[in-house]
Chains A and B, each alone.
Chain A
Amino acid sequence: GENVEQHPSTLSVQEGDSAVIKCTYSDSASNYFPWYKQELGKRPQLIIDIRSNVGEKKDQRIAVTLNKTAKHFSLHITETQPEDSAVYFCAASMAGGFKTIFGAGTRLFVKA
Chain B
Amino acid sequence: DTAVSQTPKYLVTQMGNDKSIKCEQNLGHDTMYWYKQDSKKFLKIMFSYNNKELIINETVPNRFSPKSPDKAHLNLHINSLELGDSAVYFCASSQYSGTEAFFGQGTRLTVV
Contact = CB atoms under 8 A, between A and B. Distances in A.
B97 A46 contact: no
A100 B92 CA distance: 11
Interface residues on A, range: 20 to 34
Given A98-B31, A98-B50, A98-B56, A46 B45 contact: no
B43 A49 contact: no
B42 A97 contact: no
B43 A44 contact: yes
A65 interface: no
A101 interface: yes
Given A43-B90, A95-B97, A101 B45 contact: yes
B61 interface: no
Interface of B: 31, 33, 40-45, 48, 50, 55-56, 58, 90, 96-101, 103-106
Given A43-B90, A46-B100, 6 more contacts: A34-B101, A93-B98, A97-B97, A98-B55, A98-B56, A105-B42
